[in-house]
A and B are shown apart, each in its own frame.
Chain A
């Protein structure tokens, strides 16, 4: 073990209903007033507007969606005065460009260029472009804990020494999906939001953005550090928290362990405190169990509302202010404390010397994240393991238009395409009907993949503890059906089931429920590089040597949304979808192969292809290394991708056969997951089918015994499969 590098907060930016910038935020918190007001930012077809936390005076900049604008404002504040761009960006978001998409759908607009900012990845991508970030731009989508999970991932990236500066944060804009969605769950308090109050009736949906520039180099006047983070999953229910706060307790406990602190070290506890009856009760039980003596505590959501994916980052900022200025914010809106909670929250803002703050964020699917922020250079450093990317694959599965791995390989060997959409019967025929009765296409695909990958790992393989899922578009069926019913019923009858199912982390949380996986549960959405982002997250997070983790990538082809949203899917063309899953550990014993992702950079990075070759040790190592190169070139990036591929082959001096795999499996964002699974299968059988490479069967042997899965286009990524 090594001593972890310190992770300093070197810059911070925020825009929320409490104000724009740290000074306004601090002033609002000192004022202890609620910023929650009736909805104004979009018109309603009927009914009185519900109270929300909204940001006034935002200047529209079409075609950029509101989420992107908010993210840009906070990010520019965070990097102000900093002359080098961050090396990576990790943004928690659930809404992306949905507010714009909702409007376009109502106007029945068909021009797909208008929808180009829909994807969650475009929020991180927009910031990367604005800030000239050369590295990965990751979108984390774990519902209301997204901001906290983004910070946790950034912390891991920096600690292990691979990166020196990472911009992390969270953002969400108000939109009809969340406004009507939470209302359909009867989770909105019509009289504002009163966390911990005996008469609390729910939350106030809000918007906002907060960004932190985290660095391992000590900034001048360093005042705050991220000391630790803990992630967990309730593995209990898609929308309700575990009634005893099991996951909440585990997240807080893991954060303390990660920081090397005990509960007595916490000077202020920033609660998730949404104001729903269930959250506040479950959280209070977890807090009561963890702390013998309760620290001063409060929820700020009575003042700000609940800005969903932004909340974890907004409250990291509040925690930072507590450490920097000694300001402990009040539990705004509280009239009469609910005696069932056993908590005594801060009634009026306090001034108190504060060295360490614990901040909670919990989300749908039981995805929990707790963060600890403390005074710089005040605590001893925790230990960390050196960064090593290799994961041992014990079982894998895939799904294409042809069906499962066996059916897919059969067709590939016969020289046929596997592009298409398998029927739901083929996909989920083996899953119990009760388990999947509320699930549509993507979660059914995901559960089937997870079950198959685990089954392929052998009967003695323990159940997985953590889940990492990449999806370019999330649950398109649920999202489309929710918005359609909302519109058709003139906003009267939104579907609670579809709303719960529409969140990007829905499928991964279903996997957690199926296996009782209470460890980290992270969903990433990186467009055509979504699976790569999930693999990157897993490489950083999988710590326990023997406890398996599942890494998945899947996307569904949707008749209306896919041609409209995915720039590589041509309107009128046959749709394809699929995915893959890998059951991995850190133990090579008994593994089928190894998977690693040594490279992930923007196409705009300097000499990106030379850097890619260098990451493998230069042409001396790459000339004879791979038996096969599977190249992922999204159709919309075809010209650039082909150029990149040609340059790479020339620079690497590689003579390995190259397969443009999207021609075989079809165009869908999670295609790289399928390519990796097919690669694993070929590695295991030791044969690359001649039909795939236009020649004889190729035996995988000698030096050239690895398979490279390249991602090309907007980002250049490399995944490598090798023998154990």
Chain B
């Protein structure tokens, strides 16, 4: 779980181009969308694509999306709970 959170921090900084944020400064429990980082609806959609591409999980429901992207911890939880079972 902590590894997943660290992995997501790096990914979000990259895909959202948060060049002035370091992974160690990224508060996993802080409000993600509409918070201090200025993350908005377009970023949410970019994250939806990332979650589908990298973790095989489709989020196409706005209500679910709002919960999932409310914080980085919630996103990690959602990915862990919904990840497709792999054979290895």
Binding site for B on A (CB under 8 A): 184-186, 237-240, 433-434, 437-438, 489, 492-493, 495-497, 500
Q: A495-B49, A496-B45 are in contact. List 12 more A-B contacts (CB 8 A).
A: A239-B41, A240-B40, A434-B38, A437-B18, A437-B19, A489-B53, A493-B52, A493-B53, A495-B46, A496-B49, A497-B43, A500-B42
A185 to B53, Cβ gap below 8 A? no
Select one of B17, B18, B46 contacting A496, CB under 8 A: B46
Contact with A along B29-41 (1 / 0, CB 8 A): 0000000011011
A184 to B16, Cβ gap below 8 A? no
Q: Is B25 an interface residue (CB 8 A)?
A: no
A240 to B53, Cβ gap below 8 A? no
Q: Which residues of B from 41 to 82 have beta carbons under 8 Å from A? A: 41-43, 45-46, 48-49, 52-53, 60
B45 to A437, Cβ gap below 8 A? no
A437 to B16, Cβ gap below 8 A? yes
> 15 A-B residue contacts at CB 8 Å?
A185-B42, A186-B45, A186-B60, A239-B41, A240-B40, A240-B41, A438-B43, A492-B53, A496-B42, A496-B45, A496-B49, A497-B43, A497-B45, A497-B46, A500-B42
Q: A434-B20, A437-B18 are in contact. Are A237 and B49 (CB under 8 A)?
A: no
A237 to B46, Cβ gap below 8 A? no
A238 to B40 CA separation, bound complex (whole angstroms) = 11
A492: B residues at CB distance < 8 A: 53
A492 to B58 CA separation, bound complex (whole angstroms) = 12
A620 to chain B, nearest CB (A): 58
A237 to B39 CA separation, bound complex (whole angstroms) = 12
The 9 tightest CB contacts between A and B, nearest first, are A496-B45, A437-B17, A433-B20, A493-B49, A497-B46, A434-B38, A433-B19, A493-B53, A496-B42
A185: B residues at CB distance < 8 A: 42, 45
A237 to B45, Cβ gap below 8 A? no
A184 to B49, Cβ gap below 8 A? yes
Query: A277 — nearest CB in chain B belongs to which residue?
Result: B62
Chain A interface helix/strand/loop/mixed: loop
A438: B residues at CB distance < 8 A: 16-17, 42-43
A31 to B48 CA separation, bound complex (whole angstroms) = 40
A492 to B52 CA separation, bound complex (whole angstroms) = 10
Interface centre among A238, A496, A500 (most CB of B within 10 A): A496
A490 to chain B, nearest CB (A): 12
A499 to B53 CA separation, bound complex (whole angstroms) = 18
A495: B residues at CB distance < 8 A: 46, 49
B20 to A237, Cβ gap below 8 A? no
A239: B residues at CB distance < 8 A: 41-42
B56 to chain A, nearest CB (A): 12
A497 to B41 CA separation, bound complex (whole angstroms) = 10
Query: B40 — nearest CB in chain A belongs to which residue?
Result: A237
A497: B residues at CB distance < 8 A: 42-43, 45-46
A184: B residues at CB distance < 8 A: 45, 49
B37: A residues at CB distance < 8 A: 434
A305 to chain B, nearest CB (A): 21
A240: B residues at CB distance < 8 A: 40-41
Query: A435 — nearest CB in chain B belongs to which residue?
Result: B38
A437 to B42 CA separation, bound complex (whole angstroms) = 13
A434 to B60 CA separation, bound complex (whole angstroms) = 27
A497 to B37 CA separation, bound complex (whole angstroms) = 16
A695 to B82 CA separation, bound complex (whole angstroms) = 74
B49: A residues at CB distance < 8 A: 184, 493, 495-496
A48 to chain B, nearest CB (A): 14
A496 to B65 CA separation, bound complex (whole angstroms) = 16
B48: A residues at CB distance < 8 A: 186
A492 to B48 CA separation, bound complex (whole angstroms) = 12
Contact with A along B1-35 (1 / 0, CB 8 A): 00000000000000011111000000000000000
A186: B residues at CB distance < 8 A: 45, 48, 60
A445 to chain B, nearest CB (A): 17
Query: B44 — nearest CB in chain A belongs to which residue?
Result: A496
Query: A238 — nearest CB in chain B belongs to which residue?
Result: B42
A500 to B45 CA separation, bound complex (whole angstroms) = 12
B44 to chain A, nearest CB (A): 9
A497 to B39 CA separation, bound complex (whole angstroms) = 12
A317 to B85 CA separation, bound complex (whole angstroms) = 56
B53: A residues at CB distance < 8 A: 489, 492-493
A528 to B49 CA separation, bound complex (whole angstroms) = 37
Interface centre among B20, B41, B60 (most CB of A within 10 A): B41
A308 to chain B, nearest CB (A): 18
A500 to B43 CA separation, bound complex (whole angstroms) = 11
Query: B37 — nearest CB in chain A belongs to which residue?
Result: A434
B2 to chain A, nearest CB (A): 26
Interface centre among B19, B42, B48, B52 (most CB of A within 10 A): B42
A615 to B21 CA separation, bound complex (whole angstroms) = 57
B18: A residues at CB distance < 8 A: 437
A239 to B19 CA separation, bound complex (whole angstroms) = 22
A239 to B43 CA separation, bound complex (whole angstroms) = 12
A601 to B41 CA separation, bound complex (whole angstroms) = 44
B60: A residues at CB distance < 8 A: 186
A497 to B17 CA separation, bound complex (whole angstroms) = 11
A238 to B43 CA separation, bound complex (whole angstroms) = 12
A191 to chain B, nearest CB (A): 14
B52: A residues at CB distance < 8 A: 493
A29 to B38 CA separation, bound complex (whole angstroms) = 44
A121 to chain B, nearest CB (A): 28
Query: B18 — nearest CB in chain A belongs to which residue?
Result: A437
B41: A residues at CB distance < 8 A: 239-240
A496: B residues at CB distance < 8 A: 42, 45-46, 49
Interface centre among B16, B17, B53 (most CB of A within 10 A): B17
A185 to B49 CA separation, bound complex (whole angstroms) = 10
A553 to B62 CA separation, bound complex (whole angstroms) = 39
B15 to chain A, nearest CB (A): 8
A238 to B53 CA separation, bound complex (whole angstroms) = 25
A496 to B16 CA separation, bound complex (whole angstroms) = 12
A434 to B41 CA separation, bound complex (whole angstroms) = 16
A495 to B52 CA separation, bound complex (whole angstroms) = 13
A497 to B53 CA separation, bound complex (whole angstroms) = 16
B40: A residues at CB distance < 8 A: 237, 240
A186 to B43 CA separation, bound complex (whole angstroms) = 13
A315 to chain B, nearest CB (A): 26
